[in-house]
């Protein structure tokens, strides 16, 4: 592995984060479905966490969240804090459970969208931002989660395609492969008397 290969993942993630925020603000947020605009930022952060792990997911979430806060001129750090949790949580799911099912990105995307939407509303409420609270807010949250769920699989596939080839190998998969090829388990000791 050359030193140039070590920089491929951070460079791709930086470009992906920049393009995600620019496309979200310039194009996607201008289109509304049932009075709600889609938000692909938490989906991209969750996808990076699922693909790269908890630490890259958290760092990517912080960077994207901070860029969103700066671009929208809103309370600095609110979105960054939420996206850190989303990226780290998705990465821990990958590290602890090894999700191999094809619909895992759908469930993680719904959870990420719900966490981002409800968390942002709660944080704004706790910071004292005055906003009308009604049953329409609940309807908007549910519609936002449904739209995020529908976009989760295409966003995951696009992110996987962008970062494919630069992701670190999962050490658990290497271990499993080595044991199935006839190698000795670390728990087995060769006996000298046999």
Dist CA 74 CA 127 (whole Å): 12
For residue 103, count CB atoms less than 10 angstroms from its CB and return exposed for 0-12, middle for 13-18, buried for 19 or more.
exposed
More confident residue, 83 or 31: 83
* DSSP helix/strand/coil, 128: coil
User: Is 47's pLDDT higher than 50?
Assistant: yes
User: Is 177's pLDDT higher than 70?
Assistant: no
Q: What proportion of the chain, given as a percentage, has pLDDT over 70?
A: 84
Task: Kindly report, residue by residue over 84-128, the tens digit of the pLDDT.
Answer: 999 999 999 988 887 778 889 999 999 999 999 999 988 888 888
* DSSP helix/strand/coil, 188: coil
Domains of the chain by range and CATH? 3-180 (1.10.1760)
Task: Kindly report, residue by residue over 61-86, the tens digit of the pLDDT.
Answer: 999 999 999 999 988 999 999 999 99
Dist CA 124 CA 118 (whole Å): 10
């Amino acid at each position: 592995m050359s030193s140039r290969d070590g920089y491929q993942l951070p460079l791709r993630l930086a470009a992906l984060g920049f393009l995600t925020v620019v496309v979200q603000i310039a194009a996607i947020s201008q289109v509304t479905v049932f009075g709600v605009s889609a938000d692909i930022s938490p989906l991209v952060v969750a996808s990076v966490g699922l693909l790269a792990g908890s630490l890259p997911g958290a760092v990517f979430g912080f960077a994207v969240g901070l860029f969103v806060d700066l671009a929208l001129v809103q309370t600095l750090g609110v979105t960054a804090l939420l996206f850190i949790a989303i990226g780290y949580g998705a990465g821990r799911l990958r590290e602890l459970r090894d999700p191999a099912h094809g619909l895992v990105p759908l469930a993680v995307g719904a959870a990420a969208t719900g966490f981002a939407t409800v968390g942002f509303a709660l944080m704004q409420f706790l910071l004292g931002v005055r906003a009308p609270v009604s049953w329409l807010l609940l309807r908007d949250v549910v519609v936002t989660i449904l739209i995020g769920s529908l976009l989760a699989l295409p966003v995951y596939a696009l992110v996987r395609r962008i970062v494919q080839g630069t992701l670190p190998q999962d050490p658990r998969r290497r271990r499993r492969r080595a044991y199935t090829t006839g190698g000795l388990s670390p728990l087995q000791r060769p006996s000298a008397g046999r």
